[in-house]
Amino acid sequence: MISAEEALNRLRKGNKRFVSDSSVFNKISHKSRHHSLTEDQDPFAIILGCSDSRAPSEIIFDQGLGDLFVIRVAGNIVAPSQIGSIEFAVEKFGTRLVVVMGHSRCGAILATLEGLGQPLEGQSRSLRSIVDRIRPSLISLDIDQDPETLLQQAVHANIHSSVHQLQHESNILKNLVKKGNLLVLGAEYSLETGIVNFFD
C-alpha cells in the first residue's frame, strides 16, 4: 500500500488533470480494469464526500475503478455507519489516507443554516438526523454576517468538525493516526473552479 503522502499527491495530480480538462480515466475503456477487480480491490485513498451530484470524487480526482473507496452522504457528515465504513477500508485494504471533502454552496449546510433558531416540527426525522449532525459545528459562527461569507465559513467548519470526529471518535482510527499510519484531512471542492483545496 502506498503512503498517505503519495496518495495525496495522486489526488492532487488527478484534480489538476480534471481542472485542465486533460482527464485520463474518462477517455479509456474500463472493461479490462473491471475484470481485474472482481476478486479484490486496493483503493489508495478513502473519500468521505457529499452526495451532491456535482461532486463525484472519482471524476474530480480523475481516478478509475478500484482506486478510491468513496462514502457519500449529504453534508459529508460523520455517523456510525460512515465511521464503520472507513474502519473497514483501513483495516481490510491498509489504506493510509482519509479525505473529508466538502464543497462550496453545499445544500445540506445551507439547509442547516436556514433552520438555525427555527422550530424543527416541519422537518422529517430522517432529514433532521443530517441537520442535527451539522448544527453543532455552526453554533459559534456569526449568523448576522454576509450570507455568502457565512455559507463558506459554515462549509469549512463542518469539514473540520468531521475530520475531528474521525480522528477522535474511533479508537481504531485514533490509534492509527497516533502511530503515523493514517492521515485524516479535510478538503473543499469548488463548484466554481473545479479545484480541490486540501486543509492542513
126 lies in some domain: no
89 lies in some domain: yes
pLDDT of residue 119: 63
Place of cell 473507496: 69
Cell readout for 2 is 502506498
The answer to whether the pTM exceeds 0.85 is: yes
What CATH number is given to the structural domain containing 91?
A: 3.40.1050.10
96 lies in some domain: yes
Task: Answer yes or no: is pLDDT of 41 > 70.
Answer: no
Place of cell 457519500: 72
pLDDT of residue 138: 92
CB 150 within 8 A of CB 163: no
125 lies in some domain: no
pLDDT of residue 143: 83
Task: Answer yes or no: is pLDDT of 50 > 80.
Answer: yes
Number of structural domains, the chain? Answer: 1
Q: Tell me: the pLDDT tens digits for 144-174?
A: 889 999 999 999 999 999 999 999 999 999 9
Which value, to the nearest 10 degrees, does the dihedral of the CA atoms of residues 6, 154, 175, 39 take?
Answer: -50
Whole-angstrom Cα distance, residue 45 to residue 52?
A: 20
**Lowest mean pLDDT across 23-32, 101-110, 120-129, 180-189:** 23-32
Which domain does 44 fall in, by range?
Answer: 4-106+166-198
